[in-house]
Structure 1
Amino acid sequence: MTHDTANLSPQDALVAIMISVSMSDDNVRTSELVAIQQAVNYLPIFADYDVSRIKVVSRITADLFEEEEGLDALFGIVRAALPEHLYETAYALACDVAAADGALYQPELRLLEEIRYELKIDRLHAAAIERGARARHLAE
């Protein structure tokens, strides 16, 4: 990988988590991209975020997904860039992206489980976050 990952911001780390969930099943859906864009456009954590960084972070994430130990590297980068108090925010954003198309696929579920583990999200908190995402993305 030729990208400089040492200077990723906490917002970049959040974007990387969202992108990784979208990419997890090898089918990046429009609804997932819209969910990412809406989060970046409207959430206070992204108020001063340079949206042109999304392309950079997308490329880094895609490159990591092609590496044998890329997921481990991604989590290392995320933990290095993201303050611990934003771990639940990262998980909530991941759940929103996973739920954006109205269906959860096995690769997404496995990645969400890995995110919970890597970011040490308490199971009870994770369940509440998941329930909120499900409620926000119900079609009817």
Structure 2
Amino acid sequence: MPEASPQPLSPQDCLVALMIAVSASDQNIRTAELVKIESAVNLLPIFGAYDIDRMRVIADMVFDLFEQEDGLDALFGLIRNHLPERLNETAYALACDVAAADGSLREAELRLLEEIRYELDLDRLHAAAIERGARARHLRG
């Protein structure tokens, strides 16, 4: 039986892919980051009609891309092709929330966030406000 062709990426798939990429960027996916991704998908209106089963497919895609030499470039190419520009700030906010979820930002996460800012062509002031909001939301006692 021929394999079904993969479904094209939805804007929500792109958001999930970026969140997973940030979590996997330091090669150690933390529970707090996974909980943050899952709660975003379960609670945010942008994911209202999203099929949660797609998360595994998208995660596998991100992990496969990260094993390739130019995998990050390929991921950004997919994001550019399938994420509407109006969701760029949403994508960055979700990425920042995942990076901040465990209470510390590692060098690999910071580098990837910088790359995401560049790839999504975010205004520096807007990006700083998004980063500050993520920091404020994830502050520990």
Query: TM-score, normalised to structure 2's length?
Result: 0.95
- Cα deviation 1:3-40 (Å, max 9, x = unaligned): x6670000000000000000000000000000000000
Q: Which runs of 5+ in 2 are unaligned?
A: none
Matched residue, 1:12: 13
Q: Does 1:139 align with 2:137?
A: no
CA deviations 1:67-125 (Å, max 9, x no partner) are 00000000000111100000000000000000000000000000000000000011100
1:23 matched to 2:29: no
RMSD: 1.0
Partner of 1:52: 53
Tell me the residue number matched to 1:130. 131
1:35 aligns to what?
36
Kindly, what percent of the aligned residue pairs are identical? 69
Residue 91 of structure 2 is matched in structure 1 by 90
Moved over 2 A (4+): none
Q: State whether residues 5 and 77 of structure 1, in contact with CA within 8 Å, keep that contact through their aligned partners in structure 2.
A: no
CA distance in 2, matches of 1:51, 1:79: 22
Report how many residues are paired. 137
CA distance in 1 between partners of 2:36 and 2:16 (Å): 11
Q: Calculate the TM-score normalised by the size of structure 1.
A: 0.96
Equivalent residue, structure 1, for 2:113: 112
